[in-house]
Amino acid sequence: MIEIQGNKKRKFKIKEDDKLTIKLAMLIEGECYGLKAALKKYGYTEPRYYQLLKIYKQEGAIGLMDKKRGSNKQPTRTKEVVNQIIRLRFLDPQSGTGNCSKDETKWL
């Protein structure tokens, strides 16, 4: 749990898995109370802080949300294609890359 201390000694608690709120709180504390203390408290580096600040200024809080990583493309081998490859390799083990055991087929 991360806590932000208010002026009236009240504490605002943030769950550690709430990445968006943590990033936003770090930006607010960095701008209002001091960058070094905010970086130490939230565990971010200075370049990452300025990267997030730039994103926030351009897109708002929505831009701070974690984005899906990886390719948006569908895999080139569909389940049907993989099944056909396995079928053909078992029917004719001498063709292609050689013999294919059951253990090897799980990697197709």
Q: How confident is the model at residue 97 (pLDDT cuts 50, 70, 90)?
A: low
Regarding whether 80 and 28 lie in a shared domain, the answer is: no
**Tens digits of per-residue pLDDT, 2-21?**
777 767 777 777 888 888 88
Q: How confident is the model at residue 54 (pLDDT cuts 50, 70, 90)?
A: very high
Q: Which two tokens stand for residue 66?
A: 């974690």
- Looking at the predicted structure, is the pLDDT value of residue 102 above 80? no
- Looking at the predicted structure, is the pLDDT value of residue 108 above 70? no
Task: Give me the number of domains the chain comprises.
Answer: 2
Give residue 108's domain range. Answer: 75-108
For residue 52, the number of C-alpha atoms closer than 13 Å in the C-beta half-sphere is 23
> What confidence score (pLDDT) does residue 65 get?
86
Residue 23, SS3 per DSSP: helix
Regarding whether 93 and 40 lie in a shared domain, the answer is: no
Regarding whether 106 and 60 lie in a shared domain, the answer is: no
In this structure, which amino acid lies at residue 24?
A: L
Alpha carbons 82 and 107: distance in angstroms, whole number: 10
The answer to the question of residue 57 being in a domain is yes
Residue 12, SS3 per DSSP: strand
Say what angle helices 35-42 and 19-32 make with each other, to 10 degrees.
160
Alpha carbons 38 and 29: distance in angstroms, whole number: 6
Regarding whether 42 and 82 lie in a shared domain, the answer is: no
Regarding whether 49 and 16 lie in a shared domain, the answer is: yes
Q: What is the DSSP string of 96-108?
A: TTS---HHHHTT-
The answer to the question of residue 69 being in a domain is no
Q: For every residue of 39-74, which 3-state class applies, written as one string? A: HHHHCCCHHHHHHHHHHHHHHCHHHHCCCCCCCCCC
